[in-house]
A and B are shown apart, each in its own frame.
Chain A
């Protein structure tokens, strides 16, 4: 670009309607202009005319700006661009026409912009994209056509776009992806199709997209799993959440080994093929909810970098014994709301921090179930049928601070291994009648127990205290810097006048009779 700032003869020429800088930038945005201002420097390389009231661009209006690289015309009321309006802009790289009133792509006006790399046509009213629309744009890399009124993929206009790398057709009215729709887009890396009305994708519609890494099909009307993704060997980010897909087939992603994220929530999933998520070594998170016809735990061999697994609302009743062999890097495991009866040992999942088996059919916890999980800090086993927990089951859980055993069939809990527990839930275990002891729970801050009298072990049983949070009877905790912190202990149901000893007097009638 020629030097414009005080080094050569040219002075910073500007239009009264604009503010210009010494580098050839002219900002004429938001000035209520109805036409392109005159008097701008011929060396202008950046011209911002956005947010004015320009409705038409006449012929040759930018003829005298051979060095222009970026032209912003967004937010006007453009309805017509003369075929010769943009002639002379040989070095134009960025053209912003979004937020206007265009009904069709101004093909003729675009034809000579051989340096153009980025073209924004989003947020217009475009219903048609003539086949020759982008023919002259051999350097085009980024194309925005989202938020328009397209009813079909503009296949013809994309035929010659071998250099296109990023395309968005989101927020249109596209219902169908035809075969070979993007066949020549060998450089395309990103394709956004979200918020359309896509019901069907032809079997080889993604053929040719050998470099595609991101495919966004969220918020469409797909009823069938998008099998054509098997033509995308480099796919990393895939989204098809908020569709109507009911099953994920066996080997669904067998041709997409580089997948890192798959967003598939908000689909009425009922079946997931057990081999669907196999060999996805880059996948870090998998969230599957509500696949209520799913009976078998998915085969996850080769999906060895999974850090978060959520699989809930299925009919899975058993887990593979070698589950942790494949999932060594797992940090959170949520298998709640299934029908699991027995747990394997999670000993190999050495990094795991959170486990939830809420609402299953587990009956016992063995000695080695959670052995050596020193990073585990949250364990939710509520709403099961647990009758027995081995006395050493929690022994090695040095970080465990949140333990939920509520709504089970427990008579007692281990006294060892709970030294770090600060939140403990035991309510809903009617056979658990024995008194608990505070010394086994030095860090306890909050506890729910089956019977009010059991709170007496943790909080003062002074009947005058109304507040459910009572001073801890075992004295205060010493803070790091030696200063005493008075501990506020939450215990429920808190004992009081009417609930002194739940199990001695049995029911309400007897208690009221005794009271009067």
Chain B
């Protein structure tokens, strides 16, 4: 469905309303709305899961993408990382620069593993 004066030319499947300039203005139910930055511009994108570096929060009204903590490449929520940035190692949802005792870090997985 497109708003009058708003082009229906948006290609994305999850869009409910959109405009050529701003992309998706609202999403179909159960899709996550993400504001993607392209140069100086931000366009709305509707997705089934948030992009890397963001986590999704579902709610009855809308589903939003929120940035993970800086040390995480991907995360389950704001306090639980699922993959770490280079130089950090994952243990029980935390990205730390060193691993607990009795564990060593695995550089390819960026995780702490039992030694």
Contact = CB atoms under 8 A, between A and B. Distances in A.
A426 interface: no
A170 B92 contact: no
Interface residues of A, number: 33
Nearest to A120: B49
Contacts, number: 67
A98 B58 CA distance: 12
A98 B76 contact: no
B87 interface: no
A189 B92 CA distance: 7
B77 interface: yes
B13 A170 contact: no
A157 to B, nearest CB: 19
Interface string A29-53: 0100000000000000000001100
Nearest to B13: A51
B98 interface: no
A270 interface: no
B58 A99 contact: no
B80 A165 contact: yes
Number of chain B interface residues as a range: 10 to 19
Interface string A171-201: 1000000000000000101101011000000
Nearest to A236: B79
A50 B48 contact: yes
A190 B77 contact: yes
A118 B52 CA distance: 14
Given A165-B92, A170-B58, A214 B13 contact: no
Contacts of B77: 166, 190, 192, 214
A118 B93 contact: no
A315 to B, nearest CB: 35
Given A50-B48, A51-B48, A165-B92, A75 B13 contact: yes
A50 B79 CA distance: 27
A96 interface: yes
B30 interface: yes
B58 A166 contact: no
A123 interface: yes
Interface in A459-512: none
Given A51-B13, A75-B13, A99-B31, A166 B80 contact: yes
A211 interface: yes
A92 to B, nearest CB: 15
Given A98-B48, A165-B92, A189 B59 contact: no
A171 B60 contact: yes
Contact of A142 (B30, B60, B82): B82
B80 A214 contact: yes
B53 interface: no
A190 B93 contact: yes
B80 A190 contact: yes
Nearest to A192: B77
Interface of B: 11-14, 30-31, 48-49, 58-60, 76-77, 79-80, 82, 92-93
8 contacts: A30-B11, A75-B13, A147-B30, A147-B58, A190-B77, A195-B60, A211-B92, A214-B77
Given A98-B49, A168-B76, 13 more contacts: A51-B13, A51-B48, A75-B48, A96-B48, A99-B31, A120-B49, A146-B58, A165-B92, A166-B93, A171-B59, A192-B77, A213-B93, A214-B77
